Amino acid sequence: MKKVVIKMSMNGQNSRMCCFGPQSSQSKAFRVVGSLPGVQSMAVLGEDDNMIEVTGDRFDAVKLTILLRKNVGFAEIVTVSEIDEKESERENKPVIWSYINGVPHREFAHVMDPYPYYSEPSCSIM
């Protein structure tokens, strides 16, 4: 797993499209980064929120930077580093879900024959 930090200019103009509302450069950057396969998480860093930290397995940092330059504006790679599996295992602890109403139970229904069979014949003459 790798972690890439990309510095961008987030103070660009808001684009106005006819169908969609105005979009900030930060939302455009998140849309571009999120569309890549292999990206697991994104975060905004820096004092001016001008850096994006991307973590994942199968994405190319250079292609990501080129896409950000085309769609958003200025972008440059600050760092590329590998994340240890031990660190990622510590971060991903299993979630324990509790039952709100306790353990679910099963209800049993007793089914009876509506026309029971009697050993005595219905006709008393025979």
pLDDT at 18: 47
**Domains of the chain and any CATH numbers:** 2-86 (3.30.70.100)
pLDDT > 80? residue 6: yes
Q: How large is the C-alpha radius of gyration of the chain?
A: 31
pLDDT > 70? residue 125: no
pTM greater than 0.85 = no
114 or 17: whose pLDDT is higher?
114
101 or 56: whose pLDDT is higher?
56
Q: Which residues contact 26 (CB under 8 A, 6 or more apart)?
A: 10, 44, 49
pLDDT, the chain, mean? 78
List C-alpha distances in Å: 26 to 2, 40, 64, 90, 121: 22, 18, 15, 29, 87
